[in-house]
Amino acid sequence: MRELDYGAAVERITEFIRESVDGAGADGVVVGVSGGIDSATVAYLAAKALGKEKVLGLIMPYYENRDLDDARLVCESLGIDYRVVNIKPIVDEFERAVGGLDTKSRGNVMARTRMVLLYAHANAKNCLVLGTSNRSEVLTGYFTKWGDGASDYAPLINLYKTEVWEVAKLLGVPERIIEKKPSAGLWEGQTDEDELGISYRLLDEILWRMVDLKMPKAEIAGELGISIERVEYVEKLVKGSEHKRRLPVGPVF
């Protein structure tokens, strides 16, 4: 992986957040706090950049589990104002309205419901929505289009997941959040790495070489000591999710 000066990265991101808020004439930011490392890191960065009084944490659980406790821990550790909005009645009513949803579709509705709530709060308070997606998720399409992928600014978008872990440690994010298995929380027992079919550490090593260094697939496989099929699998994720990384397009006349 590339070598980053994480202290300098924190300073650059906090400067970016301040400039973005000032440039928009906003009064602060809203962050969806899930109890995971990405949202925790964004909340810590936002509080460092703007001061805790300008950060609102929005906790939007569907399930009652440890994630809710971890999300509260983040907000209370920072001393930021936060609200808990149970999205289960909203999502369940949506499911009834459309006549049923499979697990993945329900997960996407959950993510999009959270996006709507984030923007409702942001609009009411003249705030911006800070997204929590990282580079690993964006490059592989591991996010819901117009759901968790929607925000005004995305402070972590150029940091790989393994780099987010290092930034989180530097910021003092609670250890139990850093150590927990990454999960989008879209269904009980779901984890990112199980769904992706690859560990973040290996994924990031492949992505960095493939996207940033533009190394040939065979060279990536040889350098990492893995099969070329593993590299091709990641390439398929990147190519297959290209539409998620751009605005809608149409024919040109």
Tens of pLDDT along the chain (253 residues) come to 999 999 999 999 999 999 999 999 999 999 999 999 999 999 999 999 999 999 999 999 998 889 999 999 999 999 999 999 999 999 999 999 999 999 999 999 999 999 999 999 999 999 999 999 999 999 999 999 999 999 999 999 999 999 999 999 999 999 999 999 888 777 777 788 888 999 999 999 999 999 999 999 999 999 999 999 999 999 999 999 999 999 898 999 9
Has residue 252 been placed in a domain?
no
Residues 130 and 103 in one domain: yes
Q: What is the pLDDT of residue 94?
A: 96
Has residue 197 been placed in a domain?
yes
The one-letter code for the residue type at 152 is D
Entry pTM: 0.95
For 45-58, b where at least 16 C-beta lie within 10 A, e where not — what string? bbbbbbebebbbbb
Has residue 200 been placed in a domain?
yes
Residues 112 and 202 in one domain: no
Has residue 253 been placed in a domain?
no
- The CATH number that applies at residue 86 is 3.40.50.620
Q: What is the pLDDT of residue 232?
A: 98
Known catalytic residues are 38, 137
Residues 56 and 86 in one domain: yes
Residues 207 and 161 in one domain: no
Q: What is the pLDDT of residue 226?
A: 95
Has residue 237 been placed in a domain?
yes
Residues 171 and 63 in one domain: yes
Q: Which of 157, 179, 201 is where one domain is finished?
A: 179
Residues 197 and 102 in one domain: no
Residues 165 and 198 in one domain: no
Angle of CA points 117, 81, 12, to nearest 5°: 85
Residue 35: CB atoms within 10 A of its CB come to 23
How many distinct structural domains can be found in the chain? 2
Q: What is the pLDDT of residue 249?
A: 85
Q: Are 50 and 28 in contact (CB under 8 A)?
A: yes
Q: What is the pLDDT of residue 211?
A: 98
Altogether, the residues listed in the chain come to a count of: 253
Has residue 16 been placed in a domain?
yes
Residues 242 and 161 in one domain: no
Has residue 184 been placed in a domain?
no
Has residue 202 been placed in a domain?
yes
Residues of the domain holding 107: 6-179
